[in-house]
Amino acid sequence: VFNESVTNARIYGLLVRSLIRAAVDGFNGTAFAYGQTSSGKTFTMNGSGADPGIIPLAVRDIFDTAAEAADRVFLIRVSYMEIYNEEINDLLTLGSEKLPIHESLERGVYVSGLREEIVNNAEQVLQLLELGEANRHFGETNMNVRSSRSHTIFRMVIESSAKHQTNSGDAIRVSILNLVDLAGSERIPKTGADGVRLKEGKHINKSLMILGNVINKLSENGKQRGHIPYRDSKLTRILQSALGGNAKTSIICTAAPEEIHIEETRGTLQFASRAKCVSNCAQVNEILTDAALLKRQKLEIEELRKKLQVCPACLMLLSVCDVLYCYLKFFV
């Protein structure tokens, strides 16, 4: 638990840095801030010039870590989207709105038509972040003069391959990192929202409620879970792999210290308690070339041969595997 005097850099070092380093190594990762409106989520994620937030710290850390991996070559792509009134907008391209969500075996869940930029350094990424922030929806409420009216997802796709590949080829690692700034849950009597702000608040609250429902289901015993409502909102659909799937996830929960917000704080703590019970199954994401796949199969056959030398029947089976390996190698 941190108080308001703790810097974003310390929070990053304790809660997020290991996730970022893992993303460079090929693991999917997601970090997001959750809490009521005006409790410090956007400041935690974006920060200021004097106290950079999770996102700029992560961006610099990624490029520093990649530079230290002298034996690998990296390709990094970024995109920036917002979910505003349950519609997906591209923050890097004006007028690119209401983008659809699709799913495929190769890519999983993705947003079609989203602009991706290849980047070479942290400064280039921070410029794109600044562009996206300028296009994001903000508005004034009684709780916050610059209230986030949308959820944003800053996504980095990190590809890497061995710099000196062997003749048999090598696997390509591809990881997806989501850095998410959620809009805050709102109580209409406190925010004084009406008209457009009221509509925005209803969409924000609904999507956060569905996120809570997903976390509730995932925190239950496997036999009691039943249907998990990922598809009930754009937010949970896009973050599906980060919620109980193939990703390392860090959730930072923020709370306002004033007694008047005690009910909202209780709700945030209950969300955090349930989220701690969710288990993900993160693994390195590799794309194997045909040559790399054959190389891996050959190594597995050799390993099996060493273990099963005392078994004639097993050796016969390995001979069959050798024949199949040669057959595959011929066609590749």
User: Is 279 labelled as part of a ligand binding site?
Assistant: no
User: Is 35 labelled as part of a ligand binding site?
Assistant: yes
User: Is 39 labelled as part of a ligand binding site?
Assistant: yes
* CA separation, residue 301 to residues 116, 122, 297, 321, 323 (Å): 41, 43, 6, 7, 11
User: Is 192 labelled as part of a ligand binding site?
Assistant: no
User: Is 36 labelled as part of a ligand binding site?
Assistant: yes
**Exposed/middle/buried for residue 130 (C-beta within 10 Å: 0-12, 13-18, 19+):** exposed
Residue (of 132, 126, 130, 153) closest to 61 by Cα position: 126
User: Is 283 labelled as part of a ligand binding site?
Assistant: no
User: Is 40 labelled as part of a ligand binding site?
Assistant: yes
Q: What residue type is assigned to position 113 of the chain?
A: G
User: Is 42 labelled as part of a ligand binding site?
Assistant: yes
User: Is the distance from CB of 65 to CB of 21 less than 8 angstroms?
Assistant: yes
Binding site membership for ATP: which residues? 35-42
Binding site membership: which residues? 35-42
